[in-house]
Structure 1
Amino acid sequence: MCGTHPSAQMLSFAKISFRSLLLSAAMSVVLVAPALAGVDCVMESKAAPAELIPACSATIDQASIPSSDRAAALLVRADANARTSGGLTQALRDIDRAIALDGKNAKAWRLRGDLLREAGGDLNRAAADLSKAIELNPQDSESYELRGVVYTNQRRLDRALADYDQAIKLKPDNAQAWSDRGVTYYLGGDNENAIRDLSEALRLDPNRPRSYTNRGAAYKKLGQLERSVADDGEAIRLDPKVPEYYDNRGLSLAAMGEYDKAIADYDQALRLAPRPNFFANRGDSYHLKGELGAALSDYEAALKLEPNFAQTYNNRAVLYKKMGERKKALADYETALRLDPGNDNAAAGRRAMIADIVKFGGEPLRPLAANSGKGPSFDCATAKREVEKVICADPQLGVLDRQIAETYERVLKSAGSRSAGDLRRTQRDFLATRNTSFGRAGYDLRKVMQDRLQRLNAMDS
């Protein structure tokens, strides 16, 4: 960014995440093998995986049991393995064996396709497995829905929408299909339909935190920030341990100019998970609030965790420019462009910084004392407010500040007692507003100072 508030590009969309793997949906297998230690090898068993896996193995290992029943037992064991840490590979092996034993088992093809997607495997193979499941059972709503998820992950959005349409046609109360279709509309830029589908998903199942946060993302795109904040709040209420929900709400609050509230949300997100984008987003809010030191610290933390974070280099360059660190700003703009050659803001910032270095030189600006006659009206060596540090770092702003102070003193000396009281009040208001508003989106410090000088000059004429 250049010429706009630094977090313009950091107001990222909600982190879209489809549902977790649900291997046990709509399956209830009853096997003829005897139970092991009182544990039945059935899909919806409440037994723990550590108990269920050996129970199913007893069935699987009996060659006398029909192949279709052994295949069913393999699917139950696959489900149990998938629910254990590091068990996805074994789960896939079990489903492969189940398909080899019973190639017409539509559920096995569906489960393998979904597992491949969940494990980050070959999405084309996952789509092929789910297509086979649909071929074997064209009335299975979940297979269409899961293939839609794969197509969405591949950004084949039209195909995904067609599959969700069919899933909902077969099962109108499938809240997950409504939610997934809403996400796909969102990714395609159709936020109105995204909100409609996610609202229907929430009507069918109000306890869906991700549907709330995804709908909040669509509201955010439409500029309906209060609704976005409310939806993220619901997501947090339902599941307060997900850091992305706090980050998402923080982004909306920052867009509303509620920087302190946004920072509080980023604080909580970081307590749950110290991720680079959380540091970067909090840094943007500090930046906009005018707390440049805190912003710089957060940008550096983000880049330490993610050295290829192009937008953070861009935003740190803006901060360095405010601080008068021209060489550092230029270096950050160039790094941002190297990582993201299409970043127009970084390209514009780089051009402007090269022009500044040609005009003013590349060395950092040295603070000027108040009595030098060349800088601001106050002593930069003791400046504590961020707005004052920025004025010290910019020679033009420093001249403006001195002109305002000198003109104010001149007008004050010639004013009557009543006028002098009003003048003191307006000057206090100007300084207080400058100190509290600096850094907010849309606040133009240079223009505000120029307007104040113009008003004082009018009184001085």
Structure 2
Amino acid sequence: MHAFIHSISSRSSYLALRLAAGLVLGLGAQPAFAADPECALGSKAPPSELIAACSTAIEQASNSPKDQSIALVARADARARTSGGMTQALKDLDRAIALDGKNARAYRLRGDLMREAGGDAGKAAADLSMAISLDPNDAEAYELRGVVYTEQHRLDRALADYDQAIRLKPDYAQAYADRGVAFYLRGDNEKAVRDYDEAIRLDPERPRTFTNRAAAYKKLGQMDKALADDDEAIRRDPKVSEYYDNRGLTYAAMKEYDKAIADYDQAIRMEQRANFLTNRGDSHQFKNELGAALGDYDAALRIDPNFALAYNNRAVLYKKMGERAKALADYEAALRLDPGNDNAIAGRRVMLAEIKTFGAEPPRPLNAPSERSGPSFECTTAVREVEKVICADPQLSVLDLGIAESYARRLKSSRGRLAAELRSAQRDFIAERNARFGKPGYDLRLALQRRLDMLRDAGH
């Protein structure tokens, strides 16, 4: 069986963490200009009051273009914090830059808002670079450009920007937190943990830093620490659905699938997301609850028909069920959406080989099926893990029973040396099945299918 790729909460479908720079606007409240102190970037006033004050200042004909530009930045900041105000905020910033092409804060805010709105990342980086050229000591501009580079997976550039932001502002908790994300994505998990430690020391009130550190601890195999951080994130903000999903992933990594499913249930109750449903489907699949797993993958794809991960993991399920044609179709769908998906590439290659060898039809019982509904042995007395897995999976049970019936039929018609060779081959098959089950590279369903096909072919 090919490994699942787990889906972890983020703005994109594959990043492990959501980058949490947010809007970082200024080094404290600063008046737009002395004549109108109520229009201030970073003001604590409600956005509606700030918008009104800045609008008055902007329309004052006596104010200079530079002062109007400053007021437009403050109004854009306020508008960005209101529902549906992003478009108006960006228009304000375009106007601010047209009035004063050296307004560094206008470039910085426009670059950040463009990034936040999912706009052109290149233009966002260009705006932030312009802000830096106008004000080389602007730590926030370096930090925000680092976020853009991280989202583009240009991690060396991102790390250089975070380093500079921290040099300029050594107590910059957000820069440490986001540098931790870049280290995590680069696979430097020990460095990521150190940065998250510092971010939490400087600002322990950010629950997302705890959940991000949990992800790094998972990569390091430190599951107890990961679980403690997931718990802390939920304790600090129990209204964030992602935190339950992330803790579910921790439980799944610990093979505590019932606890994982309970957390996914909570996340899904709070918010229907394709990745939450896919993750729950994975845990159901690991428990061999195939119907529940299939239902979750189907629901995930109804929410997001372009979610490559759900196709990949449903393909793993179909492969386990012996539905080769469906598995192949899902691997191909995953690759259309994510051509670099190594799991889907390998899975597609295996399915093409199996279909060429065994055909596309799922395994079926013999033409004269047994009245038994389970495998060839009693599940109530099963001791070996491989037997328990066969009992829990209807398709594996069909294959096991088919092997037993085909073997019995062939043995009945064999005599002397042929019968002895048949008995020996069956003993060897069962011994190999028991010894190799659970080992890397061993596919139980494929091994059963091959043994069944060999017995049937030899009987013709």
Letter paired with 1:99: I
1:394 aligns to what? 399
Question: How big is each residue's C-alpha offset from its partner over 1:154-182, in whole Å with a ceiling of 9 and x where there is no partner?
Answer: 33222222221111111100101111111
Q: Which moved more, 1:115-124 or 1:327-336?
A: 327-336
* Identical positions, percent: 56
**Which residue in 1 is equivalent to 2:289?**
291
Please identify, of 323-332 and 93-102, the stretch whose mean Cα deviation from structure 2 is larger: 323-332
Contact 1:310 1:336 in 2 (8 A): yes
1:349 aligns with 2:350: yes
1:241: which partner in 2? 239
Deviation at 1:270, TM superposition (A): 0.8
Hey, what does 2:454 align to over in structure 1?
Answer: none
What does residue 177 of structure 1 align with?
175
Contact 1:288 1:440 in 2 (8 A): no
Report the CA distance shift for 1:386/1:298 in structure 2 as closer, same or farther (over 3 A).
farther
Distance in 2, matches of 1:372 and 1:17, equals 55
1:391–1:397 Cα contact (<8 Å) kept: no
Indicate which of 312, 315, 322 corresponds to 2:313: 315
Return the offset for 1:337: 4.7
- Residues 423-442 of structure 1: matches in 2 within 5 Å? none
Change (3 A) 1:103 1:306: closer
Letter of the aligned partner of 1:7 in structure 2?
F
Q: TM-score, normalised by structure 1?
A: 0.76
Letter in 1 for 2:241: P
Shift of 1:352: 5.0
User: How far is the alpha carbon of 1:395 from its aligned partner?
Assistant: 3.7
2:16 paired residue among 10, 14, 17: 14
From the superposition, tell whether residues 299 and 44 of structure 1 become closer, same or farther in structure 2 (CA, over 3 Å). Answer: closer
Gaps of 5+ in 1: 380-384, 404-433, 451-461
Matches within 5 A, 1:365-384: 365-366=364-365, 376-377=376-377
Contact 2:391 2:397 in 1 (8 A): no
Tell me: CA distance 1:73–1:348, structure 2 relative to 1, closer, same or farther (3 Å): same
- Does structure 1 retain, via aligned residues, the 8 Å contact 2:273–2:303? yes
Distance in 2 between residues matched to 1:247 and 1:161, nearest whole Å: 28
> Take 1:134 and 1:242, find their aligned partners in 2: how far apart are those partners?
34
- Structure 1 pair 397/211, CA: closer, same or farther in 2 (3 Å)? farther
- How big is each residue's C-alpha offset from its partner over 1:368-400, in whole Å with a ceiling of 9 and x where there is no partner? 865579962469xxxxx9616244321467629
Q: Which residue is equivalent to 1:96?
A: 94
**Structure 1 CA distance for aligned equivalents of residues 362 and 102 of structure 2:** 74
What number of residue pairs does the alignment pair up? 401
State the SS of the aligned residue for 1:77.
helix
Amino acid at match of 1:345: A
Please give the alpha-carbon distance, in whole angstroms, between the structure 1 residues aligned to 2:373 and 2:178.
65
| 120-129 or 49-58, which deviates more | 120-129
Question: What is the rounded CA distance, in whole Å, between the counterparts of 2:168 and 2:348 in structure 1?
Answer: 51
Contact 1:79-1:91 within 8 A present in 2 as well: yes
Q: Deviations over 1:22-79 (max 9, x none)?
A: 33543411544468xxxx2223433322232222111111111233333222222111
- 1:270-293 Cα offsets, whole Å, 9 max, x none, are 112111111111111011112111
After superposing the two structures, state which structure 1 stretch, 263-272 or 333-342, moved more: 333-342
Contact 1:369 1:378 in 2 (8 A): no
1:107–1:133 contact (8 Å) kept in structure 2: yes
Contact 1:283 1:294 in 2 (8 A): yes
Mapped to 1, the partners of 2:336 and 2:126 lie a distance apart of: 38
Cα distance change of structure 1 residues 284 and 75 upon mapping to structure 2, 3 Å threshold: same
Alignment gaps of 5+ in structure 2: 9-13, 380-389, 409-433, 449-460
Q: How much does 1:258 deviate?
A: 0.4
Change (3 A) 1:363 1:247: closer
The 2-side partners of 1:105 and 1:20 are apart by: 21
Are the counterparts in 2 of residues 209 and 239 from structure 1 also a CA contact under 8 Å? yes
**Residue 134 to residue 376, structure 1, CA distance change in 2 (3 Å):** same
Q: Distance in 2 between matches of 1:333 and 1:308?
A: 13
Alignment of 1:246-285 (within 5 A): 246-285=244-283
Match of 1:67 among 57, 65, 68: 65
Show the 5 A alignment for 1:199-210: 199-210=197-208
Q: CA deviation at 1:444?
A: 8.2
Q: Is this contact kept in 1: 2:19–2:178, CA < 8 A?
A: no
CA contact (8 A) 2:245 2:264 kept: yes
- Deviation string 1:293-339 (CA, Å, 9 cap, x unpaired) is 11111111122223333443343333334434444344434444555
* 1:225–1:252 CA contact under 8 A, matched in 2: yes
Q: Residues 220 and 397 of structure 1: is their aligned pair in 2 closer, same or farther, counting only changes over 3 Å?
A: farther
Please state if 1:362 is matched with 2:361.
yes
Contact 1:324–1:365 (8 Å) recurs in 2: no
Secondary structure (helix, strand or coil) at the match of 2:127 reads: helix
Distance 1:240 1:337, change over 3 A: same
Partner of 2:221: 223
2:182 and 2:251 mapped to 1: Cα distance? 25
Q: Which moved more, 1:364-373 or 1:225-234?
A: 364-373
One-letter identity of the residue aligned with 2:404: V
Q: Give the distance between the partners of 2:278 and 2:286, measured in 1 at CA.
A: 12
